Amino acid sequence: MNILFTCAGRRNYLINYFKEALNKEGKVLAADEQMLAPAMVDADIAIKLPSIYAENYVTEIIEVVKNHKVNAIISLNDLELPILSKNKDLIEKTGTKVIVSNDDVISIGFDKWKTYNFIKSLGLNTPNTFIRLDEAIAAIENGSLKFPLVLKPRWGSGSIGIDFPESIEELKLSYKLQKIKLKKTILNKISQEDQDFNILIQEKLNGKEYGMDIVNDFKGDFFGVFAKEKLGMRSGETDKAKSIIDERFEVLGKKISEGLKHIGNADSDVFVVGDKLYLLEINPRFGGGYPFSHEAGINLAAIYIEWLKGNKSEDLKHFNNYKENITFSKCDRLIKINN
pTM of the full predicted structure?
0.94
Domain count, the chain: 3
> Please, how many CA atoms are within 13 Å of residue 208, restricted to the half-sphere of its CB?
14
Report in angstroms the alpha-carbon separations of 132 from 107, 142, 280. Answer: 20, 16, 19
pLDDT digits (tens, 9 = 90+) for 278-303: 999 999 999 999 999 999 999 999 99
Condensed to tens digits (0 to 9), the pLDDT of residues 188-226 reads 888 888 888 999 999 999 999 999 999 999 999 999 999
Sheet strands side by side (includes 3-6) = 45-48, 28-32, 3-6, 72-75, 97-98
316 and 213 within one domain:
yes
Domain CATH number, residue 183 = 3.30.1490.20
Query: Do 170 and 248 have their domain in common?
Result: no
Phi first, then psi, for residue 327 (nearest 5°) are -110, 135
Do residues 287 and 317 share a domain? Answer: yes
Backbone phi, psi, residue 250, to 5° = -60, -45
The set of residues, in sequence order, having a beta carbon less than 8 Å from that of 288 and lying 6+ positions away, is: 237, 238, 267
State whether 250 and 265 are in the same domain: yes
Domain encompassing residue 259: 208-328
Q: For the domain that residue 312 is a member of, what is the CATH number? A: 3.30.470.20
pLDDT (tens digit, 9 = 90+) per residue, 84-98?
A: 999 999 999 999 999
Residue 106 lies in a domain: no
